[in-house]
Structures are given as structure tokens and as C-alpha cells.
Amino acid sequence: MPPQRGKTPKKNKNGSGSQTEPVEVYCRIRPLDNPDDPVCLKAVNTNTCILTPQENAIARNGQVKELQYQFQYVFDEYTSQKAVYDYVAMPLMEDLIKGKNGLLFTYGITSSGKTYTMTGTPDDQGLMPRCLDVLFNSISGLQAKKYVFKPDRMNGFEIQTDADAMMERQRREILPGLTTPKTPGRGRNHGEFGEHGRMSDPTRVEDIDEGNIYAVFVSYIEIYNNYVYDLLEELPHDPITGYKPPQSKILRTDSNDNMYVMNCVEVEIKSPQEAFEVLYKGQKRRKVAHTALNAESSRSHSIFNIRLVQAPLDANTDMIAQVQDQEKNICVSQLSLVDLAGSERTNRTKNTGERMKEAGNINQSLMVLRNCLELLRENQKTGLGKLVPYRDSKLTHLFKNYFDGDGKVRMVVCVNPKAIEYDETIHVMKFAEMTQEVLVTKSQQVKFEILEAPMIKKPPVIEDYIPMMTYSLGPTFPSLEVLHCRDEYTLDQLSDFLDERNRLKENLMIDFNRKQDQFRAQLVKIEKEYNEMKSRSHESQSVLEKRESYIQKLESRLRSLEKRQDETSRQFKECERERRELESKLQDKNMKIRQEKTEKDRLRSDFRNRLEHNNQQWEKNLQKERNKIENELEGQINEKQHKLNMLRHIVNTETDSDTPTARFRTPAPKARTYTTPGKIMSARSETDMSSVGKNPVPTPRSRTQTATVTSARSMHGLNKVGTPKNTPQYNPRHRRSRSSNAEIWLDHRPPGSVELGTVLQPKLKKKKSVSKLEVKDTKEATKYILTHQDIDSAGELETKLIKGNMLPTAGGGTAVVFNDVETLKQISPGSRKRRSSCPQPTDYDGDWTDVEDRCGIAIEGHSRKRSRGTEKVSRV
Ligand code: ADP
Ligand code: MG
């Protein structure tokens, strides 16, 4: 018959309606080694302790900043192991028996009393031995026969029949080298928990369900450097060094999502003594393994698991009730007792090389534990389902289920109150404070449901095959007393009786032989069945072995894959680190590029500014230079003008000597020069020619005189080269737009002009009157009118209005082309001098040479002489 199987029942998850409870945190303060040492932690009451900083950490204002911490219970240095057990572990033990899981761990720095609290000493036992004592005290008399419950290597249990269990018992006792440790013989060293001197705990859990049978299994594992080792596994033997380093184990999830260590040895124990033997063996292996691994015990997490398997008994058969779904019939509860590695920070362990790596890993496991608890707390507060990084370390991965609501979690924070441990203690306290804010789901009590009638067939026993034999000896002997020698009657009676008995005996013999044959046949049948079973079991054994070897192969493959995974993750981390480095380099380079760019921009703008500044400087210099040249030219012009005047004076003086009217001569014609920035405007009229008594005023329209407004450079060029090519060019046919139907007159009346008050006045529609000529005035005007007054030969005031068109020149200046002269004369009624008022044609003789021409010769070095009536253009 196949064995019945059962699994750890699936505990309730964080479903709706499930109650939660916080992680219960207890604080235990250990006594000082030297009572005179200063302390930093004191218990104030059963729930509170105060952490006082070291003397040198006192605040600046001189006040001592005390920190207060509240816990479920604070055990001071005088608290006994028993009291700690009663408060902390007893409820977990009660839960275990009720089918609930529990996790109890001790946390603290090295030498803070974690191992003392968890294991203790033989005469003052810690939590673990007391748990075992109490468990066996409670289930005594209710234990199943050994091997009735059998681990199925997948975190579940199978139920075997009593016969199979007995066979297994024999097999295990006969065959050496099986995975379970052998029961040590009497007198062997049982370690520190040997029976001699051990003070067992007499407590027992009341209210035990006596309708169940129980079996206890223990396993003992260690997590070191984030590798899981089985402390109950036979160590591989090395012929040279003794033991080889142990193989690490893999964590797996069973069909109910419970985490377990794959292929971890689980030993069924029937008494606390057996448990201590297992524990002792584990500790011994731990030492050996540590030597082989060159490890240190304070840097490893040790986990002692107690699994209690229970199943209800059938009231009729006094055997385990058999149901179809064995998962509902078997309850497996677990209590994990964890002695964590020292929580001190890495920098405190002055290790180097390998040791440093270990220390880092240990702290990393505790760091992950801390992170997980923090995230759990955050998730519970905020309702956000952030992923808790259980998988980041083997420790948290293994206990994932507890935090996900699979049992009670309790923590004993062990503290060494020594003042020098203040810095570490503050971290421990913070962690402890945070931990008690984490909520875990309350697990429910397991109820068994026997759904069907038992299916198990009672195993055949020998009595079943032996028919009930009732031996009848027949009628009792008749009276054998012979009364006399011929007492035939009695003898006959006796003879009949004996015959009868003989007959009966023969019948019985026949019956016996028949039954004997029957029995033999039955026996042969049983033997046959037995042989068949044996061969079948051999077959299944070989199948099992094959499966085992296959599993081992798979395991080794898994291990190699895990190693490869480790290697890949290491490479990945390395690549990640390199990527980060490259990224930072890239950022540096980008920053440099940006800096260079801004520097370039700055230089460029600087250069532009300088260029602009230079240009301005240059322009200023040029301007200065130009002004200087202009001034020089002006000086030259003035000088030439002066010479011209002198020449005029000479000429006039000569003429005067010939003509008596010369004394009425007006001064030599004036050349007015106006200087504006960048331009010199010189206006010169020919009107003074008419003032020469000898030379009559030319007929209007017969001569056109021009005043030119030009740039200094043009003038300079003209004066220097003396060729018309260098004079400002204008278009004599140019006509300004007349669309506006308005001629703008520039009425130029030099200062000192006399008002005439005549009847006839020139009629100018739009005019601008100026006394001094400016360049801007010449820009707008289209016509030019110059008022020139002089005294004629008769001593009368003669006013001439010289008119001209204003034309723009190629050099940007304005040229005035004189085309009309109006002469105004006022004559007193008594005067008869006609000659002066009316010029005669004879005035224009062929030898006439006007002053202008003569001055032109002096200044320009050339003269143009034209016949009368032709236009004459003169430029200055
Ligand atoms: P840990 O496991 O935290 O490194 P241990 O449990 O090994 O520390 O304790 C260090 C020492 O302190 C041991 O010698 C232990 O006997 C002693 N000790 C710790 N706690 C107590 C206590 N409550 N009472 C008496 N001795 C204690
Ligand atoms: Mg320890």
C-alpha cells in the first residue's frame, strides 16, 4: 500500500478579514563582566529602558540627551532564563502545539548575550532546550511510532503504516551511513547538554489535543556569507585534511508557497535527549565546517527548526485517521529559533581581505532584514504594495512566509549595557523600535476534518491465519474405581470410554492434519505474497534510488547553475559599476565641453566688444584727422581768399587810378564759407561784378552764375589738381519733383541787409528765410534767392535779387545754378543819371574781363572766356 502523504497546510495569507498583530520585541540586558564598568542602558520599568550617551557625547548645553525606548518587556540583568522563556517562548510553544508557526530570533552585537539567551548553559538553559523540554513534556504518551511520519524531501510528510515504519526502523538501524545521525551509545560525550548536570524544564503545555498523535522533527542550518549549510548533514570526507568544506544548500518553495532548504536533513526525535544529541552533533559539525571554511561563528546566523507533525487518531482503530486528502489530515507547524550574527557595523570589525568580505555580507543580510521590515512597515502604513526585497538575502528569503503572515514573530534584542557600546547599541535600539511597528497576520488554529471513514486495511497478523482450535477431550472419565475382581461393568465402561476417546483422537488427528495443511497453504500464500512484496519493494527501492540519483544530478546542476548565476550577477554588478564610471566620465567630458563652449562664447563676445571699441576708436581718430585736414584746408582757403582779396584790391586800385568813380567801388566780392561737420559750404556770388563801375551788370539770363556747396575733399582736389574732373558733379538738367506743386525758396539775406519798403516785392509762395547758410537748409529748398545790396555809381542803393535752381551734386552736396538777377533801384525824383540805371549794350565790349575771371586765374590757375550771351559756370 502506498504511503499516505501530507503537507504543511497552507496558512492564511494577508486576505481580507485576517487579524494582524505586531512583531513583539523584547529587550534583554545582560550583566556586566565588570560591575564597576560605566553603563549606557538601564531598565526603568518592565517596558521601558533608557539609553544614555557616553560622557563625551553629552550635548553642548551640558544636558544629557537620554533616549527612551519602549518594548513588549524589558528584562534587566537579573532576569532568569526561566522568566525569559515564560514570557517569550512559552506562547510560541503553545502555538506550535496548536499547529501555528513561530519565529523567534535574537538580535544584538557580538557578546551581547544572544547565544546565552537562545542556548544558555546546561545548568541554566536557554530558550531552545526549554522549548524541547516543554514540547516533550506536553506530548508524552501521544507520540507516533518512529518513522510513521516520514519527510517527503519536498517539505511535506508522508504517513507510513506501522509495519512500514517498523521495516524502516530496522533498515535504518541495520544500514549505516544513512542521513540521520546515529543514536549515540550510552556513555558517549553528549556535549554540554549531556544528561549529567542538565536541569530540564518541567513545564508542560496544558490543553493538548489528546485525539492526535505527534512527531517531532528537528533540523539545524547555518547561513554564512549568504550561503546555507546543513549542520546535520554528513560532511564529505577528505583523506588528507579530514573534512572537506560543506556543500551549500538551495532554498526552494513547496507546493504551498512555504520556503524550505532543499535536501536538508530532518531528524525525528523522540526525547529532548535525542534533540540535544542532534544539537551537539550540529554544533560539532559547525566547528569543523568553520575550520574548513575559515569562518567565525559570530558572523553566521544559526537556525534551529522544530517541526511538529500531528494527525488525528481514529477512535475505532486507534490509528491515524485516513482520508483522501491527507493535507487536511496532517498538520505541520514549525518553530524557528534563530541566533543571528553580531549586528555590529563593518568598520568596527577591523578585518581585512576575506574577513572584511564576510563581515560585509553578514551586515548585508541584517541590512536586508532591516530593509524588508522597513518596507513591510511602509506598505502597511501607506497601503502601497511595494515589493519587499526578501530575495536579496538567504536569511530573509527563508523567513519570507513569517513576515507574509504565516505565524508569530518575536525578537529578543540582547544588549550589553557597557557604555563603550553606546554607538552600536543606538543602532540596535532603532532597529528594534522600527521592528515592533511591523504587523504580521495572526495565524489560525488548525482544525482537522475527518471526511471519510478510515480506508486503511488492518495489516494481516498471524492470528488471522490460525483457525481457532477448540480442543474437546470428550466425556469425562467414568469412575475407575474397581469394586471387586469381577467387576466387569467398570472395566467394560472404561474400555468403551477408551475406545470412544481413541475414535475422538483419530478424528481430531484427521482434523488437525487438515487444518495443518490449510495453515501450510496459508503460510505458503503469505510467503508468496511476502516475496512478491519484497520484490516489489526492491523494485521501488531501485526506482527510488534512481530517482534519488536523478535528484542529486539535478541538485548538482542547480548548484552549478546557481554558481553561474552568482558569477553572472557578479559580472553584471561589475558591468554596472563600469557603466556608472563611464557615465560619470561622460558627464565630466560634457561638462568640460560646456565650459569650453561658454569660454569660447565669452571670448567671442569679448573680441566683438574690443573690435567695436577699436572701430569706434578708429572712427574717432579718422574724424579727428578729417577735422584736422578740413581745418588745414580752411586755413589754405582763407589764405587763398586773402590773396584773392589782395589781388582784387590791386586790380581795383589799378582800375581806380583809371576811373574817377572808383572810390564808390564796393569791396571785393566776398566768398562766404560755412563750415559744417564734414562739409564746407562755400557760396559765392558774381553780383559784386556789377559793382565794378566799368563793368556793366550782365543781362539777366545771358549769364548764369553758380554757387556750389561741396565737400572739403572735392574742393581740396579742385584746388590742388585744378581740373574740373575733381569738382562735384551735378546734372544741369535735373528737375526736382514738381508733383507737390510747390517750389521752396531759400531766401538768403545776409545780415545787415537794408529793408527797402518798395511797392514791388518778390512774391515767393513757400520760402525759408535765412541770414546764414546751413547745409540742412539747402536740402529742402529747390530755389535759391540771394539778396545783395550795394551802392551804384550814382551813390544810390542798388538791391540785386540773384536767383538760381538748387541741384544735388554727385558728392552729396548741393550746387546752385544762378539763372536770374533782379535789380531793384530806387531813384530820387531829381536825379537824371540814366546810364547807371539802364545799362547800355556798349558796356559789353570785347575786351571785358570781369573780376571773377581774374580771380579765377589767381586761384584756379585757369580762366574761361566766353562770348556774351553764353552761360558761364564758375565753381568754388
Ligand atoms: P553573543 O552570542 O551575543 O555573542 P554570548 O551569548 O556568547 O554573546 O554572551 C557572551 C558572554 O556573556 C557569555 O560568556 C555569556 O555567558 C555571558 N552572558 C550573556 N548574557 C548573560 C546573562 N543574561 N547572564 C549571564 N551571563 C551572560
Ligand atoms: Mg553568539
Query: Which CATH number describes the domain made up of 20-171+211-441?
Result: 3.40.850.10
pLDDT of 608 strictly over 70 = yes
Residue 77 CA, closest ligand 1 atom number: 23
Q: How far is the CA of 397 from the centre of ligand 1 (A)?
A: 28
Kindly report the backbone phi and psi dihedral angles of residue 361, in degrees, each rounded to the nearest multiple of 5, phi listed first.
Answer: -65, -40
pLDDT of 470 strictly over 60 = no
Least confident of 24-38, 51-65, 849-863: 849-863
Task: Judge whether 29 is annotated as a binding position.
Answer: no
Mutate to test the pocket of ligand 1, among 27, 30, 76 (most ligand atoms within 8 A of CB): 30
Mutate to test the pocket of ligand 1, among 29, 80, 85, 116 (most ligand atoms within 8 A of CB): 116
Residue 121 CA, closest ligand 1 atom number: 16
Could you give the CA distance from residue 657 to residue 669 in angstroms, rounded to a whole number? 19
Q: What is the pLDDT of residue 850?
A: 47
- Tens of pLDDT, residue by residue over 310-356, are 988 876 666 676 665 665 678 899 999 999 998 887 544 444 455 45
Under 8 Å CB-to-CB from 844, ≥6 apart: which residues? Answer: 696, 698, 868
Confidence bin at 31 (pLDDT 50/70/90) = very high
Q: What is the pLDDT of residue 322?
A: 64
Which is more confident, 378 or 656?
A: 378
pLDDT of 419 strictly over 80 = yes
- Across 15-38, average pLDDT: 82
- Across 791-811, average pLDDT: 82
Confidence bin at 457 (pLDDT 50/70/90) = very low
Least confident of 680-689, 779-788, 797-806: 680-689
Give percent of the chain above pLDDT 70: 68
pLDDT of 210 strictly over 90 = no
Q: How far is the CA of 27 from the centre of ligand 1 (A)?
A: 14
Domains 20-171+211-441 and 781-824 share a fold: no
Confidence bin at 874 (pLDDT 50/70/90) = very low
Residue 108 CA, closest ligand 1 atom number: 3
Q: What is the pLDDT of residue 328?
A: 64
Q: How far is the CA of 257 from the centre of ligand 1 (A)?
A: 37
Q: What is the pLDDT of residue 737?
A: 59
Which is more confident, 409 or 447?
A: 409
Residue 33 CA, closest ligand 1 atom number: 12
Nearest CA among 750, 830, 839, 832 for reference residue 790: 750
Least confident of 404-408, 591-595, 698-702, 825-829: 698-702
Q: In CATH terms, is domain 781-824 a member of 3.40.390.30?
A: no
- Tens of pLDDT, residue by residue over 250-277, are 999 888 888 999 989 999 999 988 898 8
Q: What is the pLDDT of residue 326?
A: 60
Could you give the CA distance from residue 142 to residue 211 in angstroms, rounded to a whole number? 9
Least confident of 3-12, 142-151, 616-625: 3-12
Could you give the CA distance from residue 395 to residue 288 in angstroms, rounded to a whole number? 22
Task: Judge whether 112 is annotated as a binding position.
Answer: yes
Task: Judge whether 211 is annotated as a binding position.
Answer: no
Q: How far is the CA of 33 from the centre of ligand 1 (A)?
A: 9
Q: Which residues line ligand 1 (CB under 6 A)?
A: 30-31, 108, 110-116, 298, 342, 414
Decide: 154 and 262 in contact? Cβ < 8 Å.
Answer: no
pLDDT of 856 strictly over 60 = no
Q: Which ligand has the nearest atom to the CA of 80?
A: 1
Residue nearest to ligand 1 atom 12, measured at CA: 113
Average pLDDT of every residue of the chain: 76
Task: Judge whether 690 is annotated as a binding position.
Answer: no
Decide: 676 and 682 in contact? Cβ < 8 Å.
Answer: no
- Across 395-399, average pLDDT: 92
3-state helix, strand, coil split of the chain in percent (to 5) is 40, 20, 40
Q: How far is the CA of 190 from the centre of ligand 2 (A)?
A: 20
Could you give the CA distance from residue 132 to residue 306 in angstroms, rounded to a whole number? 8
Q: What is the pLDDT of residue 749?
A: 85
Could you give the CA distance from residue 169 to residue 147 in angstroms, rounded to a whole number? 7
pLDDT of 762 strictly over 80 = no
Q: What is the pLDDT of residue 1?
A: 38
Q: What is the pLDDT of residue 482?
A: 65
Could you give the CA distance from residue 448 to residue 327 in angstroms, rounded to a whole number? 10
pLDDT of 867 strictly over 70 = no
Q: What is the pLDDT of residue 863?
A: 35
Q: What is the pLDDT of residue 312?
A: 86
Q: What is the pLDDT of residue 59?
A: 52
pLDDT of 670 strictly over 60 = no
Domain residue extents for the chain: 20-171+211-441, 492-576, 781-824
120, containing H or E segment = strand 120-121
Strand order, beta sheet including 797-808:
671-676, 679-684, 706-710, 814-825, 797-808, 783-791, 744-748, 766-770
Least confident of 229-243, 291-305, 703-717, 720-734: 703-717
Q: What is the pLDDT of residue 632?
A: 94
pLDDT of 413 strictly over 50 = yes
Q: What is the pLDDT of residue 604?
A: 95
Q: How far is the CA of 114 from the centre of ligand 1 (A)?
A: 7
Cα angle value 237/291/348 (rounded, 5°): 155
Q: How far is the CA of 298 from the centre of ligand 2 (A)?
A: 5
- Tens of pLDDT, residue by residue over 142-168, are 898 888 888 888 888 888 887 888 888
Q: What is the pLDDT of residue 363?
A: 65
Q: How far is the CA of 398 from the centre of ligand 2 (A)?
A: 20
Q: Which ligand has the nearest atom to the CA of 113?
A: 1
DSSP assignment of 253-308: E-TTS-EEETT---EEESSHHHHHHHHHHHHHHHHHHHHHHT--GGGSEEEEEEEE
Which is more confident, 859 or 294?
A: 294
pLDDT of 378 strictly over 70 = yes
Mutate to test the pocket of ligand 1, among 109, 111, 119, 337 (most ligand atoms within 8 A of CB): 111
- Tens of pLDDT, residue by residue over 567-584, are 998 999 999 999 999 999
Least confident of 148-152, 451-455, 726-730: 451-455
**What 3-state DSSP class applies to 312?**
strand
- Across 48-69, average pLDDT: 74
Least confident of 378-382, 474-478, 504-508: 474-478
107, containing H or E segment = strand 102-107
**What 3-state DSSP class applies to 672?**
strand
pLDDT of 838 strictly over 80 = no
Residue 298 CA, closest ligand 1 atom number: 4
- Across 828-849, average pLDDT: 47
Task: Judge whether 115 is annotated as a binding position.
Answer: yes
- Tens of pLDDT, residue by residue over 171-189, are 776 555 444 444 444 444 4
Q: What is the pLDDT of residue 634?
A: 93
Give percent of the chain above pLDDT 90: 29
